Amino acid sequence: MTLEALGWTAHEAEAFQPFEARGLRPARIAVGYGATFRIYLEDGETLADVSGRLRHEAVARRDLPAVGDWVAVRWAPPDRASIQAVLPRRSVFSRKVAGEETAEQILAANVDTAFLLTGLDQDFNLRRLERYLAMSRESGADPVVVLNKSDLADDVALRLREVEQIAAGVPVHPISSKLQCGLEALDPYLRPGRTIALLGSSGVGKSTLINRLLGHERQLTAEVRASDQRGRHTTTYRELVVLPGGALLIDTPGMRELQLWDASEGVAETFDDITRIAAGCHFSDCGHDSEPKCAVKAAVEAGQLAPERLASYHKLQAEHSALEARRDVLARQAEKKKLRTIHKAARHLPDKGRG
């Protein structure tokens, strides 16, 4: 494949110029297996490891390669390639890692369009979709909501209106991957060289949709539990695959937990209706909670804003504030550790003033 077929743009070409002068080659991360990656090159694919220098200089996880990244590699066939650098990303999907650890996890990089997949079964959840919308809008990619399992919905038109109310300006397409209905609506996004990220929780039908887009049964699928319509993970790692029409698709494992990471702008854009209403609040810093003359609370009381949407907004704002506080603490701790290391090294330096 050509680099352009892999998604190479003028952005990457300009960023790669210093590495080309060093005799390095461009490649794109297809799969990550822990410390080892499978990469696509212009004339094939191979395994690659992160160079010791890049690993040593990485300050955080985001400095290391992720699926979808463009990288500069040193490769002498048939040996493994060595990843020397990660090129600047045009877009990046990231979340807080699951659990108590305060760290960022990159899900996909250099994505053009994000298919936010949700099921029209008993697991349909507008509040969860708001989180995916916020993450997508923060990423720099264009979000598209895909309502799968339309064959299981009692009222598709009602669900469509509900989603359109919280996803203003975002395309919304109801489909049934199982029955192969409505898939033609996705064709305009699946252009050669364009990268699509497929995001959604377990059981929404990502693997079935990928099989339909590929034209063969490549991904394992699993039936959801009848009790709660939740599914098992059938994708265990992120992978960049090339579709028959030339588009590139990044599949991601279903996420039970989606905590946003540094998505303040994405949250503001996702809840722009609240932002507009808040312009009428008496206090410029109104928190829309207990303050008097709050236009947002008045809109809820008047039935113009769903109380569940305001509660979701408050929840995401509180999560963001708590995460920011933890990140500030960790940053101060890291700075203190750095200073201690510098002082310790300075004490062992020879005193040139003696002797």
pLDDT tens by residue, 285-342:
999 988 999 999 999 999 999 999 999 999 988 888 877 777 777 667 667 766 776 7
Burial zone of 355 (CB within 10 Å; 0-12 exposed, 13-18 middle, 19+ buried): exposed
Strand stretches in 90-150, DSSP E: 92-96, 104-109, 113-119, 142-148
Q: Is residue 284 predicted with pLDDT exceeding 70?
A: yes
CATH of domain 92-256: 3.40.50.300
Residues 156-207: tens digit of each pLDDT: 999 999 999 999 899 999 999 999 999 999 999 999 999 999 998 888 888 8
Taking a C-beta distance cutoff of 8 angstroms, is the pair 126, 86 a contact?
no
pLDDT the model gives residue 76:
77
* DSSP state letters, 139-198: HTSEEEEEEE-GGG-S-HHHHHHHHHHHSTTS-EEE-BTTTTBSGGGGGGG--TT-EEEE
Residue 28 is inside which H or E element, if any? strand 25-33
Residues 39-83: tens digit of each pLDDT: 999 988 999 999 999 999 888 888 899 999 999 999 877 778 999
- Compute the mean pLDDT over every residue in the chain, rounded to the nearest whole number: 86
Pick the CATH number of 4-86 from 3.30.70.270, 3.30.750.24, 3.40.50.1220, 2.40.50.140: 2.40.50.140
Give the residue extent of every domain in the chain.
Answer: 4-86, 92-256, 271-348
Nearest residue to 195 via CA among 121, 89, 298, 81: 89
CATH superfamily of 271-348: Probable gtpase engc; domain 3 (1.10.40.50)
Burial zone of 78 (CB within 10 Å; 0-12 exposed, 13-18 middle, 19+ buried): exposed
Nearest residue to 41 via CA among 82, 90, 89, 3: 3
